[in-house]
Amino acid sequence: MAATIRIKEGLLKRLRESRQIPTEEVQARMIGVDRVTLRRIDGGASPSAAFMAGVVEAFGLGLGEAFDVVSTSTVVEQPEVREAVAS
């Protein structure tokens, strides 16, 4: 069984709200990526090690608090992710 890593659903939005981060652009800069990358990963793409390290560093979270390991069969079943996997 193959697996991949995904950011926990809704985490980026909850962090923006709870920490009063005004925009996705600001949050992306805090993590060390651009807004497009932030949205792509929030939409279900697998994060890079640099993205994961940026989230952990910027928000003081553990890897397990921010990310889930999911089987790739589960990922493909989700319609919004299926499109990303196909391209």
Total domains in the chain come to 1
Asked if pLDDT for residue 53 goes beyond 90, the answer is: yes
CA dihedral 49→53→56→58, nearest 10 degrees, is -130
Give the predicted TM-score (pTM) of the model. 0.79
Q: Which residue range forms the structural domain that includes residue 40?
A: 3-86
Over the stretch 19-33, which tens digit does the pLDDT of each residue have? 999 999 999 999 999
The larger pLDDT score, comparing residue 2 to residue 12, is at: 12
Beta-carbon neighbour count of residue 77 at 10 Å?
A: 10
Q: Which domain CATH number covers 49?
A: 1.10.260
- The residue among 1, 3, 29, 2 whose CA lies nearest residue 16 is 29
| pLDDT tier for residue 77 given thresholds of 50, 70 and 90 | low
Whole-angstrom distance, CA of residue 29 vs CA of residue 53:
13
